[in-house]
Amino acid sequence: MTPWHIGGKTLNSRLLIGSALYPSPQVMQESIRASGAGIVTVSLRRQAAGDAAGQTFWQLIRELDLAILPNTAGCHSAKEAITTAQMAREVFQTNWIKLEVIGDEYNLQPDPFELVKAAEALIQDGFEVFPYTTDDLVLAKRLVEAGCRILMPWGSPIGSGKGLMNPYNLKAIRERFPDLQLIVDAGIGKPSDAVQAMELGYDGVLLNSAVALAQQPVKMASAFRSAVEAGRAGYEAGAMPERDFASPSTPVLGTPFWHQAEK
């Protein structure tokens, strides 16, 4: 796969993977390595960085030697997300932040108003913001106007595994912002979902539950690695246009005359 340039870094994979929900730290490490991901997301809220458990977790993450994308998971206001992002920058020594501002606990949908407010403030503070958003084109436009160079619209609600609920909306965002880095984040349940996202022209896919909750996480991680690569290659190759009629793949010209006579 050709190198991917995003947020000032050059990566060899377009797969981003989370570090939560795995049955054990060892399985987490093995799965992330098997995925070939170039970016791993971590939550500052899940464990305190100063305690023993937190130190062990951070050491495991550092051993992966990947680009780290801290997130503001669990935040419900711009103020809370901004504070968490600033703390994450100090802990992880990176200006990258996956911005999550949750507006509803039922489907974990982002709060569009607080999300834009937080994005504006963090960009002014020197962050490279990766905003987790819905597939709403108008919200995407507002985030771009706020200064975002990367957008992460959901495929479906976090952890639902429903795949791409509205490919039309995702395609509209891709067509509206051809030069933006776009990553499908949330809802990916199986490798074919990742293929579909990449074939739409998205630059990457972020997932966690689909691997961590699989019966065989390491094997599933490897499957997603292949899926992202296949989807991207298919997009770059250019798929044939759909048709409303059949078209023979074997030409009639050159067919033996007795074969034609039998028809």
129 lies in a domain?
Answer: yes
Average pLDDT along the chain: 91
pLDDT classification of 256: cutoffs 50, 70, 90? low
Q: Evaluate whether residue 256 is within a structural domain.
A: no
Whether 212 is in a domain gets the answer yes
Among 166, 212, 160, smallest CA distance to 188 is for: 160
User: Is the confidence at residue 47, as pLDDT, over 80?
Assistant: no
Query: Which DSSP string do the residues of the chain spell out, in sequence order?
Result: ---EEETTEEES--EEEE--S-SSHHHHHHHHHHHT-SEEEEETTTS-TTSHHHHHHHHHHHHH--EEEEE-TT--SHHHHHHHHHHHHHHH--SEEEE--B--TTT--B-HHHHHHHHHHHHHTT-EEEEEE-S-HHHHHHHHHTT-SEEEE-SSSTT-----S-HHHHHHHHHH-TTSEEEEES---SHHHHHHHHHTT-SEEEESHHHHTSSSHHHHHHHHHHHHHHHHHHHHH-PPPP-SS---SS-STT--HHHHHH-
| pLDDT, tens only, 131-156 | 999 999 999 999 999 999 999 999 99
On whether 54 is known to bind a ligand per the annotation, the reply is no
Q: Which of 87, 128, 91, 134 is nearest to 110 (CA)?
A: 134
Q: Among all residues, which ones are annotated catalytic? A: 98
Q: Which residues pair with residue 51 across a beta bridge?
A: none
Residue 248 located in a structural domain: no
* Residue-number span of the structural domain to which 132 is assigned: 4-237
Task: Identify the pLDDT of residue 252.
Answer: 63
Which residues, in sequence order, are CB contacts of 154 under 8 Å at separation 6+? 132, 133, 134, 135, 184, 185, 186, 187
The reply to whether 208 sits in an annotated binding site is yes
Length of the chain (residues)? 263
pLDDT above 70: residue 19: yes
Handedness of CA 5, 41, 218, 214 (dihedral sign): negative
Token pair recorded at residue 60: 């495991």
- Residue 50: the pLDDT is 55
What does pTM read for this prediction?
A: 0.89
Compute and round to an integer the Cα radius of gyration of the chain: 21
Residue 18 has pLDDT above 80, yes or no: yes
| pLDDT(251) > 90 | no
Residue 169 assigned as binding residue:
no
Q: Does residue 244 belong to any structural domain of this protein?
A: no
Residue 259 forms part of a structural domain? no
Query: Is 159 known as a binding-site position?
Result: yes
Number of independent structural domains in the chain: 1
Q: By C-alpha distance, which of 48, 49, 41 is closest to 20?
A: 41
Taking 80 as the threshold, does the pLDDT of residue 36 lie above it? Answer: yes
pLDDT, residue 108, reads 87
Alpha-carbon span 163 to 25, nearest angstrom: 27
Instruction: Provide mean pLDDT across the span 187-193.
Output: 96
pLDDT band at 246 (very low <50, low <70, confident <90, very high): confident
Average pLDDT estimate for 117-142: 97
Question: 85 and 42 in contact (C-beta within 8 Å)?
Answer: no
Can you give the CATH number for the domain in which 227 is found?
Answer: 3.20.20.70
